[in-house]
Structure 1
Amino acid sequence: MTTTPTASFTPRPAEPLPHQLLAALAQHRIATTSQLRDMLRPNAARQTISTPLNRLQHEELVDYTVLPQSNRTRAWYLTIEGARLTRDFPALRGRPPHPINSTTAASLKTPHTLTVVRTHLAFAADAQRLGHEHGPWDWTPEISHPLGEGQRLVADAVMHYTVTTGEHQRKLRAFIEVDRTTMSSERLAVKLIEYARLFHYEAQPVGRRKPASTGPVWLRWYPVFPRVLFVLTGATRARLDHRIRDLQAMVAQHPLVAALAREVRLAAAVLEDIENHDPATPPWVPLTGGEPRTWADL
C-alpha cells in the first residue's frame, strides 16, 4: 500500500502552542513541564513551554500541583474552565472533559497518570527513532468498554501506532495497562480475564424473543481487536519478572484467556527497558511464551 511520507512526531505549527498545551492536557489529563516539552517541542528550551503555561495559569485555564521530593517539579492539569474551552477542539471531538477540581484531587491522580504519560513518551521516542508515526493524539487514556451486566473494562490507554517501512505502512493498535506494582500480582493478572470477556462479549438487541447476534461489541470501535500490552515498573527486576510469569500463567490456565491469546497478541515489558531503546535486547515478553521481541513483531 503506497502512502504519504511519514509525519514528524512534533505537531504541525498550524495550532498555536498555547492551544496545543491545552489540548495535550485535555488528552493526557496531567503532565509535567518536561513531559509537555517532550510531547510538543522536544528540541526546545524549557522556557518555550513554561512561559505559555504560566500565562495559561494566569488566565485560570490550567493549574498545577508540585510533586513531592522533586525539586518543585510542576504537574499541570486543566481547570474546569480550561476543560470547557477544549471540549470542541478538533483533536478532542467526542472525548469527554476531565477537569480536576483542586490540587488535592490532582495529587491523588498524579503518580499513575504521569507514569501513563511516561509510557506514551517512550513509545513516541521509539517511533521517532525508527521513522514510524505515533504522536500526542495517538494515545487516548482511560478508555472504557462494556462487558455486560453493568460492568465495564477501563484500559489505561489505547495506542494507535503506524509502522512505516519504505512506502508501506502497517497500522497497529494496542490496549495499554500500566502497572506500578501497587496492586497484587493476582489482581493484575485478572485484568486479562476482563480483556477476554470484552473479546467475546456480544450485546443482544432489546425486544426480541430470539435475539440475533450483532457480533462482538468491540467491532464498533476497532477493525481488529487491539493487542494487549502490560507495562510494569516500580519494583525490583526479580519482582517484575515474577509478575510477568503470573500473567503467563493466567494465559496458560484460564480457558477464556487462552482463547483470547489464540487470536490476540499479548505481551509484557518493563518500562525502563522500553525507555532504553536498545535494539539488541527487545523488551517485550510474549505472554504465550517464547523469546522477547519488539511489540510490533509479536
Structure 2
Amino acid sequence: MTRILVAWEDLYFQAMAALVKKVVRATASRPGDPPTVLSFSPKGNGNFERYVHDTWPNVRGKGLSTDPGPLDHLVCVVDGDRLHDLLPAVAKRPSDPAAVAPWLAQAEVQFTTWLRERCPPSGPPATTVHGFVLRWSRESLVLAGYDQPSFAARLGVDVAQRTVADMLSEFCKPTHPNQVPPARFTDTFVKPAGCLQALRKAAGRPPIDKNAPDIDDVIRDLSKEGLAIVRSRVPDLDRFAALVTQLASPTPPSPAPPTPPTSTAPPRARPPRIVATPAAKKKPPRRS
C-alpha cells in the first residue's frame, strides 16, 4: 500500500487533514483500499526547505515515530495567500476570479520546482517530493459552509440575519455568495479570513482568532454534514484527492508482444505421399 506524508504549512492542520482524508477515501480508485495518508506540520512555510533537504531523506525509509514504515511520497501544502512571501518570484494572488486558475497552475509548478531543487543529490529521488497550493487558507473551508447550520451554531453568524446578509453582499464582493456558482466560490472570495471577521462583526460578535477551537469544530462538522457542499465550493479538496490517487497508482507495465494463437483442434491427417515411378524402358525388337 502506498504511504504518503503530507506536510501542512498550517500548524493547526488536524481538522483540515481529517477532512481531506475523508475525501481521499470517498474518491479512491479502489474502494476499501485507499492509500495511507499521514500528516504533520513543519510549523510554517519557511521550514519547507529544511524539511525536504534534511528531514525527508531520514524519514522516508523508516516513517514517523507515531506510524513507522517506509514512505513513498512527500506532499507539501502551502497556503496560496502567503505563497508570494515564500517565493517572491511567484506573483501575488490575483483579484480577478477569471485569472485565478492560470495563476494557480503556474504557482504550483513553481512551488514544486523550488522544493525539488532543494532535495540533496544523495537523498531520495526529487520526484518523490510534490508541491500543492491551497486556495487560500484553512478559513476557505470554513467560509464555504457559510449557509450551513454548523456555521451559525459554532460561529454565531446566521446568514438569515439582515445585517449579516448585507455584510455578505458588501464585503464578500463582487456579489453575494449565493449568486456565485459553486465551482467559482473559492476563486471569487480570495480573502476568507477577512470575510469571516466582517461577518462576526455584522452579527454583533467579537473578532475570532484564526486558531480558535470553533474554527476546527466548524470544519469537523462540515466534514460530517456538509462535505458535498464544501467539496463543490472548494475544488482543491478533489484536486488533492486526485493527486494522492495518482501517486498511489502503479505505473502500468509495458504491454508484452502478442503471442501467436494456439489451436486446440486435432491435427489434420496428412495425405499419402505419392511417389512417381519412372516408366519401364521398352526393349528393342530382336533381329532375325
Larger radius of gyration: 2
TM-score (norm 2): 0.31
TM-score (norm 1): 0.31
> Could you say which structure has the higher strand fraction?
1
